[in-house]
Amino acid sequence: MLERTVYSEDHEIFRSTVKKFVEKEIVPFHSQWEKDGVVSREVWRSAGENGLLCSFVPPEYGGPGGDFLHTAIVTEELAKVDASGVAFHLHSGIVAPYILNHGTEEQKKKWLPGMCSGQIIGAIAMTEPGAGSDLAGIKTSAVRDGDDYTLNGQKTFISNGHLADLVITACKTDASAGAKGISLLVVERNDGGFTRGRNLEKIGWKAQDTSELFYADVKVTPDRMIGKENMGFKYLMEELAQERLIVGIRAASTIEAALSETVEYTKGREAFGKTIFSFQNTRFKLAEAKTKATVVRNFIDHCLELHMMEALDANDAAMAKLFATETMCEVLDDCLQLFGGYGYMWEYPIARLWAGQRITRIAGGSSEVMKEIIARTL
């Protein structure tokens, strides 16, 4: 691999802390969380105590006062061990920025300290049964009723949906205006009329609590509006670039983890009197995988550098997500093949990676949507 230059010495010291936390607090328990369909609240609070959450939030709002690269490091280290249930990246890198970048001073002081400590777990609810990548097609509505908004609708495929204490909910405040009528309202755990449906059974990411959410005449005060009314779509578009970069960061580390796992397995497993690694086809497949891993890693690191200079645009982010996830799925399929029948057994990490990472070509904007975004620049 080429030498990485995106992180400073201080960042790498932080990485050592994250690695120790992951090995002690997450790896021993993740298989049980997969059976439970949800991770423990305790690991969230422990992560907050160790400074792993919302790294870029300033100290005045209860944060560590770091930068996005600290969040990227947490994301990488979780991906390396396939800790798919622990959605710190969503909470820190996707949900918190809406409040930090678009919230009022009162909202920042109310919610960010709890999110940094792990006492408040965040989620964002965009997808609906009839609207996924087409955000303009959402039906959840918020109608002004006296001093409050009355929120009605349904969301699905919401990560952190079961654990979330705070859900930023995309809704229509002007049903006639399409995308220009979308607003973002914060719904809290104990709001009347807000309920959670079943924890959805998925083919992968089994420890991640992915839920349905229901809003039945939920009363939301105007001070829980993120930004201005009918400006939600604009905020979503602004923050999606970072979300898609995070997906790319996870993919780059996942490719490297899968490659390492497969090299080790093929060097130890024998067939026809010699190791699987000794067959030319195996070496060629792994050589291709290493090349792809190197290219993805360097492209993602370049995008990280652009992002830290506030120069990563929607097109760059779309290319990062598209290339990283599509390449990752190619590599995972090739690696699983080299495991033979064992690669299809859930106890093997490669099986869990192969099943879990398939969603990355859909969530956060499908590969087809990424291609549309990129094609507009041609």
**170 and 110 housed in the same domain:** no
Instruction: Let me know if residue 3 belongs to a domain.
Output: no
Which pLDDT tens digit goes with each residue over 58-104? Answer: 999 999 999 999 999 999 999 999 999 999 999 999 999 999 999 99
**289 and 312 housed in the same domain:** yes
Which pLDDT tens digit goes with each residue over 340-377? Answer: 999 999 999 999 999 999 999 999 999 999 999 999 99
**258 and 222 housed in the same domain:** no
Which pLDDT tens digit goes with each residue over 204-213? Answer: 999 999 999 9
**30 and 88 housed in the same domain:** yes
Instruction: Let me know if residue 1 belongs to a domain.
Output: no
Cβ-count burial 251-263 (b if 16+ within 10 Å, e if not): bbbbbbbbbebbb
Q: Does position 219 have pLDDT exceeding 70, yes or no? A: yes
**209 and 257 housed in the same domain:** no
**80 and 102 housed in the same domain:** yes
**111 and 134 housed in the same domain:** no
Q: Domain tally for the chain?
A: 3
Residue 132 CB partners (closer than 8 Å, separation 6+): 157, 366
- 260-266 average pLDDT score: 97
**246 and 356 housed in the same domain:** yes
Choosing from 93, 120, 147, the residue where a domain stops is 120
Instruction: Let me know if residue 245 belongs to a domain.
Output: yes
Instruction: Let me know if residue 180 belongs to a domain.
Output: yes
- CATH classification of the domain holding 63: 1.10.540.10
Instruction: Let me know if residue 113 belongs to a domain.
Output: yes
Helix (H) or strand (E) holding 331: helix 314-339
Instruction: Let me know if residue 177 belongs to a domain.
Output: yes
Q: What is the pTM (predicted TM-score) of this model?
A: 0.94
**pLDDT at residue 135, as a whole number:** 82
Instruction: Let me know if residue 239 belongs to a domain.
Output: yes
Residues annotated as catalytic (active site), given as ranges: 243
- CATH classification of the domain holding 348: 1.20.140.10
Number of H helices, E strands in the chain: 12, 10
Long-range interactions of 17-24: CB distance < 8 A, separation 24+: 17/50, 17/51, 18/52, 18/73, 18/74, 18/77, 19/77, 21/46, 21/47, 21/50, 21/52, 22/77, 22/78, 22/81, 22/83, 23/81
Domain containing 204: what range? Answer: 124-229
Instruction: Let me know if residue 153 belongs to a domain.
Output: yes
**pLDDT at residue 227, as a whole number:** 97
- 284-289 average pLDDT score: 98
**366 and 240 housed in the same domain:** yes
**368 and 246 housed in the same domain:** yes
- 158-181 average pLDDT score: 95
